[in-house]
Copies of this chain bind each other. A is one copy, B any other.
Amino acid sequence: MPSYTAPTKDMDFILHNVLKVSEQDTPGYADLDRDFTSAILEEAGKLASEVLAPLNVVGDTEGCVLENGVVRTPTGFKDAFEQVKAGGWTGIDLPEEYGGQNMPYIMYTAVGETSSAANQAFTMYQGLTHGAASAILAHGSEEQKNTYLPKMTSCEWTGTMNLTEPHCGTDLGLMRTKAVPQDDGSFKISGQKIFISAGEHDMADNIIHLVLAKIPGGPEGIKGVSLFIVPKFMVNEDGSLGARNGASCGKIEEKMGIHGNSTCVMNYDEATGYLLGEEHKGMRAMFTMMNEARIGVGMQGLAQAEVAYQNALEYAKDRLQGRAVTGDENPDGPADPLIVHPDIRRNLLDQKSFVEGGRAFLLWGSQMIDQSHRGGDEAAEGLVSLLTPIIKGFLTDEGYDMTVQAQQVYGGHGYIEEWGMSQFTRDARIAMIYEGANGVQALDLVGRKLAQDGGKHVMAFFDLVKSFIKENEGNEALKADFLDPLKEASKHLQAAGMFFMQNGMKNPNAALAGSYDFMHLFGHVCLGLMWAQMGKAAMDAVESGEGDTAFYKTKIATGRYYMKRRLPATSMHLTRIESGADTVMELEAEAF
């Protein structure tokens, strides 16, 4: 059975050596000193390793069972959820007035990585609740906030997000679920929603569904969509639970992975719902939470890659197979460990350099969320809005690929469920799809974010890269191994942007045909920037002679690997982008 240890040392390095969080003037950041963040992360890591990780395979094997409208979660999930709640983990970044701890979002992300890595299906129950609570926090009336948020912060009540219908996922304008206004100001919601994670289960007293629906007579398409609060049990004025509402689970989907989470078909049959935010502004309400939600999914991609890597690494050190080509390294044993073989190392270093670079990217993105939400920093808001589709799309694509590579280290044992490596792959696969499939992320990036506010956010990104290079090019070692490759990759990114500008006006397809490559090209440049920053931070630390010098040296070596071996992908993506739309659009649909 696989195991998991939270990478707290690495998180500590990123938070303090790279992002220097406690030196930032973002509200709440002054509290984030090393002692505090370490204490939080160690504790979260312990819960993840000892409570959540052992249930990961259980959840996969047992899945969720629907019987007579009731969903039974896997053995142990309920007890574990009680422990999570008791520890106050469910509301660490939510406001204190509703029972939360008001920590910055960056801590929510770091803690979230540990529980998601340990047990993604389990963590989704609280993740969805967090998303729904955030929506109520942003758009709810005082009464709605007071009614729902205290219970959702503690996860006594959980939440769900209901967007997709059988005939529409990405294109929500096609939605059919109706919300008919009632005299008392409430609505009767009727329709079917699918793919509703945590839609029904036995771990909470109530479930607060957020449901997108159309009020008859409203505008056509996406502009006529409103958001509603639909509780599973009605809530009485005194906060006690009343009658069962007309919301029920019709089916649990059989999925490739995340079996421990109940993915429900939800049927709404004249269910009582309450408008959340304004009429017909449902999509806008959803969008305000979109960045956070998407960063959260990017985190899942990274988290599955991390846990898969940890186990692949252990296996590569333990499993004896073949001999090093340069001479036996374990002469007393029957064979050398797998890790002596160059191609196994290539595989492991792909994983290691991705998860460490991706973690920095994720935490940097989360820091910008805090700068935006807590600090009112519009530049940060613009930049994180630009980078969000990359965090989501690139980290989940690469994260998935890394779980596949981790599985490969095990040979045949990677294909057998007994070893647990297949589950990481199967669980990671969903992150490329939900919260906007990665093709949609690429479209959002190229079709929307790139030109937003006159393109000033992408300019800000380039400025950041340039000034980091300029400030540090006196450092010879950093320049050769990190800054020069970053400069080169950044040129590719600029050239791609230029190509879109020059060709996208005449023919939007010329840009869109390159959108997926652009997302990956941009992702590599972001990780290149992260590695350059981490390289510098590690070199500084080595020079200072303080701390774990071996750790910092490993960090530098891992970064060099990324810059040499992974970053050169930018050139290929640029070539593909510059090939334009011709070969992509040429064929008629019938000719395929």
Chain A residues with CB under 8 Å of chain B are 164, 167-171, 173-174, 194-195, 253-257, 313, 317, 320-322, 325-326, 334-335, 337, 339-349, 352, 400, 404, 407-408, 411-418, 422, 425-426, 429-430, 432-434, 437-439, 442-443, 447, 507-509, 512-513, 515-516, 550, 553-554, 557-558, 560-561, 564-565, 568-569, 571-572, 575-576, 579, 581, 583-587, 589, 591-592
Q: Are A429 and B415 in contact, CB atoms less than 8 angstroms apart?
A: yes
Which listed residue (B167, B349, B591) contacts A583, Cβ 8 A? B349
How far is B429's CA from A263's CA once the two chains are assembled, in angstroms? 25
Q: Are A565 and B583 in contact, CB atoms less than 8 angstroms apart?
A: yes
Which listed residue (B171, B550, B560) contacts A321, Cβ 8 A? B171
Q: Are B591 and A554 in contact, CB atoms less than 8 angstroms apart?
A: yes
Given A256-B422, A342-B512, A408-B432, do A587 and B557 touch, yes or no (CB 8 Å)?
Answer: yes
Complex interface: chain B residues within 8 A of A400 (CB): 404
Complex interface: chain B residues within 8 A of A344 (CB): 439
Q: How far is the CB of A316 from chain B (nearest CB, A)?
A: 8
Q: How far is the CB of A302 from chain B (nearest CB, A)?
A: 18
Q: List 24 A-B contacts (CB under 8 A).
A: A164-B412, A171-B322, A174-B334, A194-B412, A254-B416, A255-B415, A256-B416, A257-B415, A313-B592, A342-B509, A342-B584, A346-B513, A346-B516, A349-B583, A349-B587, A408-B433, A408-B437, A408-B438, A411-B433, A554-B592, A557-B583, A557-B587, A565-B579, A569-B572
How far is B524's CA from A575's CA once the two chains are assembled, in angstroms? 15
Q: Are A345 and B554 in contact, CB atoms less than 8 angstroms apart?
A: no
Copies in the complex: 2
Q: Are B592 and A550 in contact, CB atoms less than 8 angstroms apart?
A: no
Q: How far is the CB of A312 from chain B (nearest CB, A)?
A: 10
Q: Are A412 and B439 in contact, CB atoms less than 8 angstroms apart?
A: no
Which listed residue (B317, B408, B515, B576) contacts A439, Cβ 8 A? B408
Given A561-B584, A592-B313, do A443 and B343 touch, yes or no (CB 8 Å)?
Answer: yes
Which listed residue (B256, B339, B516, B575) contacts A415, Cβ 8 A? B256
Q: Are B571 and A583 in contact, CB atoms less than 8 angstroms apart?
A: no
In the A-B complex, list the 5 residue pairs whose CB atoms are closest, starting with the nearest.
A256-B422, A342-B512, A254-B417, A342-B513, A561-B583
Complex interface: chain B residues within 8 A of A415 (CB): 255-257, 429-430, 433
Q: Are A339 and B589 in contact, CB atoms less than 8 angstroms apart?
A: yes
Q: Are B584 and A345 in contact, CB atoms less than 8 angstroms apart?
A: yes
Q: Are B583 and A560 in contact, CB atoms less than 8 angstroms apart?
A: yes
Q: Are A512 and B325 in contact, CB atoms less than 8 angstroms apart?
A: yes
Given A345-B584, A568-B575, A584-B345, do A437 and B411 touch, yes or no (CB 8 Å)?
Answer: yes
Q: How far is the CB of A506 from chain B (nearest CB, A)?
A: 11
Which listed residue (B407, B443, B587) contacts A554, Cβ 8 A? B587
How far is B513's CA from A579's CA once the two chains are assembled, in angstroms? 31
Q: How far is the CB of A219 from chain B (nearest CB, A)?
A: 15
Closest to A426 in B: B256
Known: A345-B513, A557-B583, A571-B572; 18 extra A-B contacts, CB below 8 A, are A194-B412, A256-B415, A256-B426, A317-B589, A317-B592, A325-B447, A342-B584, A343-B512, A344-B439, A347-B439, A349-B587, A557-B586, A564-B576, A565-B584, A568-B572, A568-B575, A571-B571, A572-B572
Given A170-B321, A346-B584, A571-B575, do A417 and B255 touch, yes or no (CB 8 Å)?
Answer: yes
Q: Are B342 and A591 in contact, CB atoms less than 8 angstroms apart?
A: no
Q: How far is the CB of A346 from chain B (nearest CB, A)?
A: 5
Complex interface: chain B residues within 8 A of A195 (CB): 412, 416
Complex interface: chain B residues within 8 A of A174 (CB): 320-321, 334-335
Complex interface: chain B residues within 8 A of A569 (CB): 572
How far is B586's CA from A275's CA once the two chains are assembled, in angstroms? 60
Closest to A438 in B: B408
Q: Are A256 and B433 in contact, CB atoms less than 8 angstroms apart?
A: no
Complex interface: chain B residues within 8 A of A564 (CB): 576, 579, 583
Complex interface: chain B residues within 8 A of A254 (CB): 416-418
